[in-house]
């Protein structure tokens, strides 16, 4: 077996394992009180409900966020950096685009994002493997 074949098989095995672990996690998670699932499969939990306007996909939003894998591994956190991030809502993963449009400004929610609404079957950086389910705590600070 060539090195390329070995790497492909390792990626394939990792992808299948991540997909199964994520499916099991999301199936159990949606049964928890306070967790809502949308038609796309995005799950969310309201931590704090704000009363401001909701963004559209064409707004730029400013958020504090903390992203982990289902095993608790942190892969990105504006909270840890001590500085919120701003980005056009139509230029992020679709789980964020969908979820943030449901949030009134001033809210803090937890998103549970299946791979189909995240990075799919791609390895992203050293931490996010193929078919990873992602968890984000997101606070919507501002809408522009």
Residue among 44, 111, 112, 136 flagged as catalytic: 136
CA distance linking residue 115 with residue 119, whole number of Å: 6
Q: Is 65 annotated as catalytic?
A: yes
Q: Is residue 136 among the annotated active site residues?
A: yes
In the chain, the domains with their CATH numbers are 3-143 (3.10.50.40)
User: What distance in Å separates the CA atoms of residue 36 and residue 19, rounded to the nearest whole number?
Assistant: 21
Residues in CB range of 26: below 8 A, 6 or more apart: 41, 43, 112, 114, 133
Report the C-alpha gap between 84 and 73 in whole angstroms. 20
Distance in angstroms (rounded) separating the CA atoms of residues 17 and 65 = 26
CA distance 101 to 51: 13
pLDDT, one tens digit per residue, over 94-131 is 999 999 999 999 999 999 999 999 999 999 989 999 99
What number of residues does the chain have? 144
Active site (annotated) includes residue 135? no
Residue reference for tokens 């289902």: 70
Per the annotation, the verdict on 93 as an active-site residue is: yes
pLDDT tens digits, one per residue of 3-38: 666 655 566 788 999 999 999 999 999 999 999 999
Q: State pLDDT tens for residues 49-105.
A: 999 999 999 999 999 999 999 999 999 999 999 999 999 999 999 999 999 999 999
Given CA atoms 79, 48, 132, 58 in this order, what sign does their dihedral have? negative
């Amino acid at each position: 077996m060539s090195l390329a074949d070995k790497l492909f098989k390792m990626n394939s095995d990792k992808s299948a394992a991540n997909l199964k672990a994520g499916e099991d996690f999301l199936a159990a998670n949606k049964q928890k009180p306070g967790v809502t699932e949308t038609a796309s499969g995005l799950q969310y939990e309201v931590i704090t409900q704000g009363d401001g306007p909701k963004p559209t996909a064409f707004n730029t939003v400013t958020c504090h966020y903390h992203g982990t894998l289902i095993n608790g591994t942190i892969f990105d956190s504006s909270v840890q950096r001590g500085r919120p991030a701003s980005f056009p809502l139509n230029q992020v993963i679709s789980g964020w685009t969908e979820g943030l449009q449901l949030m009134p400004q001033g809210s803090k929610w937890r998103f549970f994002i299946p791979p189909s609404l995240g990075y799919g079957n791609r390895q992203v950086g050293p931490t996010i493997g193929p078919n990873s389910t992602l968890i984000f705590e997101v606070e919507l600070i501002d809408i522009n």
